[in-house]
Amino acid sequence: MSIFEAGMMVCFGISWPIAAYKTYKSKCVGGKSIYFSYLILLGYIFGILHKIIYNMDFVFILYLLNTLFLIIDMCLWYKYKDNK
């Protein structure tokens, strides 16, 4: 387990719920890129696969939580995309 990987995932883990909450409250996605979100989602999928195949540890849970919050934020983007 890498403490640095865990630290990165905690920082992202704090950021995604805040971003989703702000999108929900403002109902506006101006300045957000869904393509960027898909790229981050792909990175999380690679991280999850790495944990499953090579190095299962508690950071796996952080990957799952971050992926969940990212998907929530992406769903909000689609819901409010016409409110730019």
* Whether pLDDT at 1 is above 90: no
Q: What is the pLDDT of residue 2?
A: 87
Q: Are 30 and 84 in contact (CB under 8 A)?
A: yes
Q: How confident is the model at residue 76 (pLDDT cuts 50, 70, 90)?
A: very high
Q: What is the pLDDT of residue 84?
A: 61
* Whether pLDDT at 39 is above 80: yes
Positive or negative, the Cα torsion across 31, 34, 38, 39?
negative
CATH fit for domain 6-83, picks 3.30.70, 1.10.3470, 1.20.1050, 1.20.1280: 1.20.1280
Q: What is the pLDDT of residue 83?
A: 79
Cα 76 from chain centroid? 13
Cα 3 from chain centroid? 19
Rounded to whole angstroms, what are the CA distances from 75 to 5, 27, 36?
26, 12, 14
Domain boundary assignment for the chain:
6-83
Average pLDDT of the chain, as a whole number: 93
